[in-house]
């Protein structure tokens, strides 16, 4: 039996059809389901997608592609871009998970990079104008190893001219596209490890583990300068972002939003957890502090409900006996 909604939607009980799609509203709460293809996706999806980005599209292209898949009403964004020529792990934040992006961005990243020596690129990657370096010769394997070792630790790195770094209110790549040379200051970044995988001039394959804010394109450029041969990053694959690994990443076309949604707790692996009863969680959702019976030393705590679901991130008082909400996720 059907009837018409005030907006002319055909309604079957709690199910209605709009623009060829089935929708279900639950009278018991705010959550709803969005029917598309073979599955029904909750509007309050909360967590992450681990996407295996192919080379070619921008990170924003991937977000737009999957936004259509999860349906309207679900926030979606990435937690750290990959350049168009790059591939590999792209973490997408889903629903309230967008508020956890900063924790994902703080994770160590791991990359497999191919560096081409004997040439430079205006973008430090294969998409720019490539120029051979006159008189460049093949560095010895020992020279390559020494050069790589010099970049391990905290270093000062100048971002690529074609990057999203802000310069005088504009993105550096916008200035570069206008024919201007953006003045970029060196920034401290941390390279944890660089492993030499293979070297057959002009090709140099390396495995890099680094901290937030590191540009592998800039690292390739600087390696070339250290070897007096010039260099650019010719291929790049991100294999890890903290616990998000390439082996578990899903191609955009293969993603099932229901089955492949990952827990929001993956962003908080190193954060101490605490389980609180419903009445205390209720206080946190109202912006109120809660008292603990035993002190906790952690600067931040991830608060779980009795089902193990993330409901808030809190900061502790100096005595460790009170928690104040920083971010609240509970309805």
**Predicted confidence (pLDDT) at residue 94 exceeds the cutoff of 90:** yes
pLDDT at 176 over 60: no
Mean pLDDT, the chain, whole residue set: 84
Pairing of strands 300-304, 310-316: antiparallel
Let me know if the fold of 44-106+245-265 is the same as that of 110-237.
yes
How confident is the model over 256-307, as pLDDT tens digits?
999 999 999 999 999 999 999 999 999 999 999 999 888 887 789 999 999 9
Domain ranges of the chain: 44-106+245-265, 110-237, 271-328
83 catalytic? Reply is yes
Q: How much helix, strand and coil, in percent to the nearest 5, is found in the chain? A: 20, 40, 40
Residue 211 structure tokens:
């901290």
Contact 232, 219 (CB under 8 A): no
User: What pLDDT sits at residue 37?
Assistant: 37
pLDDT at position 140? 97
Measured CA to CA in angstroms, residue 8 lies from 19, 25, 31 at distances of: 11, 16, 22
Q: Among 44-58, 64-78, 175-189, 218-232, whose mean pLDDT is lowest? A: 175-189
Q: Average of pLDDT values for 38-54?
A: 76
For strand 272-275 and strand 300-304, is the pairing parallel, antiparallel, or unpaired? parallel
Span 33-42, average pLDDT? 41
Per-residue confidence (pLDDT) for residue 36, from 0 to 100: 38
Tell me which architecture the domain covering 44-106+245-265 has in CATH.
Answer: 2-Layer Sandwich (3.30)
pLDDT per residue as tens digits for the range 136-173: 999 999 999 999 999 999 999 998 876 555 455 555 55
State which H helix or E strand residue 170 sits in.
Answer: strand 170-171
Which of 44, 61, 83, 297 is catalytic? The answer is 83
In CATH terms, the fold of domain 271-328 is 2.30.130
* pTM assigned to the model: 0.82
d(CA 213, CA 217): 12
Q: What is the pLDDT of residue 71?
A: 79
Q: 2 phi and psi, to 5 degrees?
A: -125, 165
CATH number of 110-237: 3.30.2350.10
pLDDT at site 174: 52
């Amino acid at each position: 039996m059907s009837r018409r909604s005030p907006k002319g939607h055909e309604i079957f009980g709690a199910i209605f059809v709009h623009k060829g799609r089935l929708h279900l509203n639950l009278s018991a709460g705010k959550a709803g389901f969005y029917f598309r293809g073979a599955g029904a996706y909750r509007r309050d999806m909360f967590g992450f997608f681990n996407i295996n980005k192919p080379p070619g599209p921008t990170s924003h292209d991937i977000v737009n592609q999957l936004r259509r898949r999860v349906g309207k009403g679900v926030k979606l964004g990435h937690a750290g871009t990959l350049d168009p020529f790059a591939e590999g792990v792209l973490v997408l934040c889903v629903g309230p998970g967008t508020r956890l992006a900063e924790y994902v961005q703080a994770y160590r990243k791991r990359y497999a990079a191919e560096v081409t020596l004997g040439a430079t690129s205006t973008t430090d990657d294969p998409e720019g104008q490539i120029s051979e370096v006159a008189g460049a010769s093949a560095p010895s394997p020992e020279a390559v190893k020494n050069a790589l070792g010099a970049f391990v630790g905290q270093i000062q790195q100048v971002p690529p001219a074609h990057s999203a770094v802000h310069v005088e209110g504009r993105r550096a790549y916008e200035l570069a596209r206008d024919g201007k040379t953006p003045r970029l200051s060196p920034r401290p970044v941390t390279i944890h490890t660089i492993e030499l995988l293979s070297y057959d001039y002009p090709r140099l394959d390396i495995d890099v583990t680094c901290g937030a804010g590191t540009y592998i394109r800039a690292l390739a450029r600087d390696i070339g300068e250290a070897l007096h041969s010039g260099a650019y990053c010719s291929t790049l694959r991100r294999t890890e972002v903290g616990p998000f690994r390439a082996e578990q990443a899903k191609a955009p076309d293969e993603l099932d939003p229901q089955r492949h949604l990952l827990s929001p707790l993956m962003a908080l692996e190193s954060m101490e957890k605490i389980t609180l009863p419903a009445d205390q969680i209720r206080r946190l959702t109202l912006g109120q502090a809660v008292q603990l019976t035993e002190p906790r030393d952690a600067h931040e705590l991830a608060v779980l409900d009795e089902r193990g679901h993330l409901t808030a991130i809190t900061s502790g008082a100096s005595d460790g006996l009170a928690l104040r909400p920083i971010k609240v996720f509970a309805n």
